[in-house]
């Protein structure tokens, strides 16, 4: 058996940027420990454990007090690992679940009561084929009464065919990682322009996380340009996250350095507060 993949730095730098009180990391995962929360047999990634205690310690180190944990395909449709972290988070940690498109209403109600605020679907070739867009849209009609949103993760080229379909969602839609556009292609590329057009619809929100994914190498200057543009134009509907512990990545980024990038992405006190505090508080409904 091959060694588990190490997906995070065990010694991230201390960020120079001081984050505002109530700052939220709106996109992380938790992996294991596998002895308690077994990995899905269908997972193509077998990572080293990256459990809740490690995550909590990272957030203390970075100056982050709130978080949204996104269920990973590493654990499949068994959301117990995220539910456990939410329970241990003292109201400061919420979740986004992975569910099949035909999930029972009773399970959606149970997840909502446990602190989940939405469900996520992937449209990524490297992650395998899941539900169809039509099946996901049908599910949104059952999410609406529960106040659950839809989160989508897709390859940038798919935005052109997905955009008109997602506009039919019965609930707000959160787009992961700036739609995974290629930052090297710039602001005028068709995929990024399509993302900006989609964001003109108030139904949509976007995570300006993943500058380290859409850029090819540090210091991620081209990725920061896109993130700053999105925040500048859609300041009340952007969120940010570390994406810790960085699965399926071309390198392992330094989480302290990712925090420092916020000084460029959100260069004013007001922009930083909106991105890190006010937007996630309003959308995810943390306890005051």
**Quick one: angle between helices 133-143 and 105-113, nearest 10?**
60
Q: Which residues contact 36 (CB under 8 A, 6 or more apart)?
A: none
Residue tagged active-site, from 25, 191, 243, 255: 243
Nearest CA among 26, 23, 14 for reference residue 272? 23
- Reply yes or no on whether 84 is catalytic: no
77, with CB counted inside 10 A (0-12, 13-18, 19+), is: middle
d(CA 118, CA 120): 7
d(CA 156, CA 94): 27
Is residue 279 classed as helix, strand or coil in its secondary structure?
A: helix
> Would you report the helix, strand and coil content of the chain in percent, each value rounded to 5?
40, 15, 45
- Helix (H) / strand (E) element for 19: namely none
The catalytic residue positions are 243
């Amino acid at each position: 058996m091959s060694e588990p993949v190490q997906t995070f730095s065990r010694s991230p730098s201390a960020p120079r940027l001081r984050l505002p009180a109530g700052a939220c990391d709106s996109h992380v995962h938790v992996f294991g420990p596998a002895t308690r929360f077994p990995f899905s047999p269908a997972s193509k990634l077998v990572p080293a454990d990256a459990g809740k205690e490690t995550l909590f310690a990272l957030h203390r180190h970075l100056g982050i007090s709130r978080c949204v944990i996104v269920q990973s395909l590493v654990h499949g449709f068994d959301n117990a690992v995220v539910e456990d972290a939410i329970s241990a988070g003292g109201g400061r940690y919420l979740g986004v679940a992975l569910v099949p498109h035909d999930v029972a209403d009773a399970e959606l109600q149970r997840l909502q009561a446990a602190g989940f605020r939405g469900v996520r679907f992937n449209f990524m070739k490297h992650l395998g084929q899941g539900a169809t867009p039509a099946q996901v849209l049908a599910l949104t009609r059952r999410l609406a009464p529960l106040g659950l949103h839809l989160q989508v993760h897709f390859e940038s080229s798919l935005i052109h065919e997905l955009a008109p379909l997602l506009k039919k969602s019965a609930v707000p839609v959160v787009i992961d990682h700036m739609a995974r556009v290629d930052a090297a292609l710039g602001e005028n590329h068709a995929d990024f322009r399509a993302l900006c057009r989609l964001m003109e619809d108030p139904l949509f929100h976007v995570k300006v996380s993943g500058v380290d994914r859409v850029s090819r190498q540090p210091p991620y200057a081209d990725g920061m340009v896109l993130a700053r543009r999105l925040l500048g134009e859609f300041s009340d509907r952007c969120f940010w996250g570390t994406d810790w512990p960085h699965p399926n990545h071309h390198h392992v980024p330094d989480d302290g350095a990712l925090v420092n990038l916020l000084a460029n992405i959100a260069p004013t006190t007001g922009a930083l507060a909106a991105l890190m505090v006010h937007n996630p508080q309003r959308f995810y409904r943390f306890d005051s």
